[in-house]
Structure 1
Amino acid sequence: MIPDLMAQFETASATYAAAHGMKRDADWFLLKLLEEAGELAQVANRLSGRSRAKGMSEAELYRLLEDETADLLGHILLFAHHHGIALDDAIERKWRFRPNV
């Protein structure tokens, strides 16, 4: 379920932060989420021809799009975990289904 996935991302992020001496506070969780959204938008612009591809092939850009999408999802889950958000409940309210991830 989503809480389990959130916990996995939290473990990975906390381990990474400890190894690199990073302080993760409420601002960090929001700013990282926004940073990753920007990186995803940048790759999407490159794929659509709205920005330079910087010598990357379409396959390389698509792989980067996948990676940045995973980063954004991870940071959304970290943000929700940090703030104690019950995403299962919120998804059910907003999207009208109960996730069974």
Structure 2
Amino acid sequence: MLRRLADQFEISSATYAAANGIERDPDWFLLKLQEEVGELTQAWNRVTGRGRRRDRTPEELHRDLADETADLLGHILLFARRNDIDLAAAIERKWRFEPAEVSTS
């Protein structure tokens, strides 16, 4: 399931990069991951009152947090895909459990 999700992110990311003239070299995948961690942190700071709310409603702040979490997951999957990491196997080994199927709905 993770592989299929990673493939979907790859299609979207490659399309975006091509449309915007972005070269996705090996460093790009890690740098984007770091960028997304920062954006998730900013969203968290706004939700928890540690950052400017920018006139956003609580619902908008929560949606922003969800969106940034999705971005981070996408870039983790892209990083793993680019580096030929079997993430499901690594999760099972590292966390000592077999991951449940991820719902995309």
Partner of 1:64: 64
Residues 26-62 of structure 1, C-alpha deviation per residue, up to 9 Å, x if partnerless?
Answer: 1110010010110000010111111121211111100
Partner of 2:40: 40
How is 1:65-84 mapped onto 2 (pairs within 5 angstroms)? 65-84=65-84
How is 1:1-101 mapped onto 2 (pairs within 5 angstroms)? 1-99=1-99, 100-101=101-102
SS at match of 1:94: helix
Q: Distance in 1 between matches of 2:88 and 2:57?
A: 38
RMSD: 0.9
SS at match of 1:53: coil
Stretches of structure 1 that go unaligned for 5 or more consecutive residues are none
Task: State the percentage of identical aligned residues.
Answer: 62
Stretches of structure 2 that go unaligned for 5 or more consecutive residues are none
Give the count of matched residue pairs.
101
Q: Aligned letter for 1:74?
A: G
**Greater relative contact order structure (CA < 8 Å, 6+ sep):** 1
Deviation of the 1:10 alpha carbon: 0.7
Q: Distance in 1 between matches of 2:45 and 2:2?
A: 30
